[in-house]
Amino acid sequence: MMLHPSIAPRSRNSHPTAPAPNTRARRRSRVALLLALPFAVAQAQPSSCSSDGLEPPPTVLERFISADCAECWRDPATPSVDGRTWALDWVFSGAQGEDAPLSPVARPEANARAQAAGLRSGTAMPPRFDRFQSVLAAEFPQNPRRLRVAQGTAFGGYVGASIRYTPARDALAPLTAHLALIEIFPAGTEGSPVARALVRNVFTPNWSGRTAGPRPRWVRLDELRPLNIPEGAHPARLRVFGWVEDARGRIIDAALSACTP
């Protein structure tokens, strides 16, 4: 079976040497991307994607597997999701480091996320499969939409992405926002029993919801930046997923980009 390049297990005896990057060309591409961002993200072009009109479900399910465990991708016990749930799939580094079969898609942010969820990672082999759920605030469906994410067209190895959030007055500060670049894999990809939303990149803005000082005030988050596309990822399958957590680590809002034809 021909493995998908973005999730293909890495040979322990193969350590290919990447060619030296063309620094000048990358700088030109980055500048061109930044110049194109306001048009690629903000305007409703056929190739643009945003969360506009897509109501979030009340539950976010985060699924974790170790990079050491290639068979976990095909585990029949993997929980599926329905229309009331969005899923995120995290691959975190295992004891084998870069020799782990799934190390090409492991993210350092996944280790911190797994530790926050109470999962073992690093040198200790985690359970074969584990997960946890974060439930959005019960009153969220009645609130006006406060979170918006959008993405532009892939260009020069990057995707222009934006996240915007207006805090509620009763939000529990400090707040933390995350913007993840995810790759959508249909069920059956490399034997996966469920559709997956694999986290490929994560950006956490430097924002807490309020200003510092004796008289803090709420500040809206409005961030626009390029996200690097990891090697092997298919641009057509990429989406952006954003979420905001309160001071207790609870997800209080989430948004997913959907592309218009």
* Residue 241 located in a structural domain: yes
Q: Which two tokens stand for residue 114?
A: 């797994």
* Residue 116 located in a structural domain: yes
In tens, the pLDDT along 227-247 reads 999 999 999 999 999 999 999
* Residue 181 located in a structural domain: yes
Structural domain count, the chain: 1
Q: What share of the chain in percent tops pLDDT 90?
A: 46
Q: Which of 137, 142, 136, 146 is nearest to 168 (CA)?
A: 146
Whether the CB-CB separation of 255 and 56 falls below 8 Å is answered with yes
* Residue 19 located in a structural domain: no
* Residue 203 located in a structural domain: yes
Rounded Cα gap, residues 172 and 20, in angstroms: 47
pLDDT value for 77 = 87
Domain residues for the domain of 116 are 46-259
Phi and psi for 168 in degrees, rounded to 5?
-80, 155
In tens, the pLDDT along 186-224 reads 999 999 999 999 999 999 999 999 998 888 899 999 999
* Residue 87 located in a structural domain: yes
Whether the CB-CB separation of 116 and 130 falls below 8 Å is answered with no
Whether the CB-CB separation of 59 and 133 falls below 8 Å is answered with yes
> C-alpha 209: how far from its chain's center?
21
Query: Which residues fall within 8 angstroms of residue 158, CB to CB, at 6 or more apart?
Result: 29, 30, 33, 226, 227, 228, 229
In tens, the pLDDT along 90-119 reads 998 888 889 999 999 999 999 888 877 766
